[in-house]
């Protein structure tokens, strides 16, 4: 179990990011603090259910990939609104979002990329 001082530091780091308020940071931390510390970035993304997975069936013609949604739905919900706020108020995130839209991605796909 993490010590209280460490949780306070992690909360401060999350709140310092544009788009993440105190309530969102607490929701995110509540979902992430139970995980081991040695997870790699792709494992964090998979835990949140934000990893793209191919859709395949016997008759599929290889449609576009979709997020897997097998991960933590509470964490996905906690990341959605901060992603929208960051797109609106953080210039680097806005540029990333606009680049994805210009590349032909749908707006929701670009938001999920920001969440990731």
- Domains of the chain by residue range: 4-115
Phi-psi bin for 69: left (phi > 0), alpha (psi -120 to 50), beta?
A: left
> What is the pTM assigned to this prediction?
0.79
CB 68 within 8 A of CB 49: yes
Of all residues in the chain, the percent with pLDDT exceeding 70 is: 93
The residue ranking higher by pLDDT, 61 or 90, is: 90
- pLDDT tens, 81-100? 999 999 999 999 999 999 99
Residue 3 confidence (pLDDT): 58
Residue 4 confidence (pLDDT): 56
- pLDDT tens, 21-57? 888 889 988 888 888 888 898 888 888 888 888 777 7
Element (H, E) at 16: helix 4-16
Indicate whether 1 pLDDT > 90. Answer: no
């Amino acid at each position: 179990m993490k010590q209280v001082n460490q949780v306070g530091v992690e909360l401060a780091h999350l709140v310092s990011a544009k788009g993440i308020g105190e309530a969102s940071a607490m929701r995110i931390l509540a979902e992430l603090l139970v995980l081991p510390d040695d997870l790699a970035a792709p494992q964090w993304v998979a835990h949140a259910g934000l990893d793209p997975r191919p859709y395949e069936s016997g008759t599929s013609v290889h449609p576009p990939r979709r997020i897997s949604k097998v991960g933590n739905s509470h964490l996905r919900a906690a990341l959605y609104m901060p992603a929208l706020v960051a797109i609106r108020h953080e210039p680097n995130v806005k540029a990333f979002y606009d680049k994805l839209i210009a590349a032909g991605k749908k707006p929701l796909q670009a938001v999920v990329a920001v969440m990731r």
